[in-house]
Chain A
Amino acid sequence: GAGVSQSPRYKVAKRGQDVALRCDPISGHVSLFWYQQALGQGPEFLTYFQNEAQLDKSGLPSDRFFAERPEGSVSTLKIQRTQQEDSAVYLCASSLVMGLAGGLGANEQFFGPGTRLTVL
């Protein structure tokens, strides 16, 4: 596709519900990232995939958060038993590669429009 897409754009959940957020990266991009952005703050790293392998999940705030990318393309971020503090915008980004393996510029990240999650 032309850019990174995310769905849904908005999600309202009752506390305790499970939610699933989807990310479609730019076609051919190897690396995929999830970020969480609280109101008035910069995005914070959650997790990173290279193809289907989840290489870093150190930013996931609790074991209620789970991400997958089973075929190395589309990714899903799942939040179980949502809490009010999970309310935020969840951003997905993709890049051609990670680091400088693909040459200068190959690790430039491109972001989707985000999913705004509100937990009541």
Chain B
Amino acid sequence: GIQVEQSPPDLILQEGANSTLRCNFSDSVNNLQWFHQNPWGQLINLFYIPSGTKQNGRLSATTVATERYSLLYISSSQTTDSGVYFCAVEGYSSASKIIFGSGTRLSIRP
């Protein structure tokens, strides 16, 4: 099945810093989503981005489908950005399964 790898696994930054999180996937995808899992466990939708670039406030994401990767950018980090960021994909050949990466744990220090 499709493999999803995220990097880095852990990231510790000072408030105000910028960061880039990466998601590599091993096959063509129907769907790619970025989620933020907050300290209470809720998965919050950040982006639905099987291809192209989107921006939402301090966050933006780019997926290059032909090269099988996606990037999530966080600018001017705030302590509330802390948590785990997941990339999840639905492959063309594995319809109905959405596969999650292992996540990037982001800690923003005040």
Seen from chain A, the residues whose Cβ lies within 8 Å of a Cβ on chain B are: 33, 41-45, 48, 55-56, 58-59, 89, 91, 98-100, 104-105, 107-111, 113-114, 116
Contacts and interface: CB of A to CB of B under 8 A. Distances in A.
Interface in B68-110: 86, 88, 90, 95-103
Contact of B48 (A43, A59, A105): A105
Contacts of A55: 96
A43 B31 contact: no
Contacts, number: 56
A108 B96 contact: no
Prevailing SS type, chain B contact patch: strand
Nearest to A58: B97
Question: What class of interface size applies to chain B in its complex with A?
Answer: 20 to 34
Contacts of B97: 45, 48, 56, 58-59
A110 B43 CA distance: 8
A87 B43 CA distance: 19
7 contacts: A43-B86, A43-B88, A48-B97, A91-B43, A105-B48, A107-B90, A111-B45
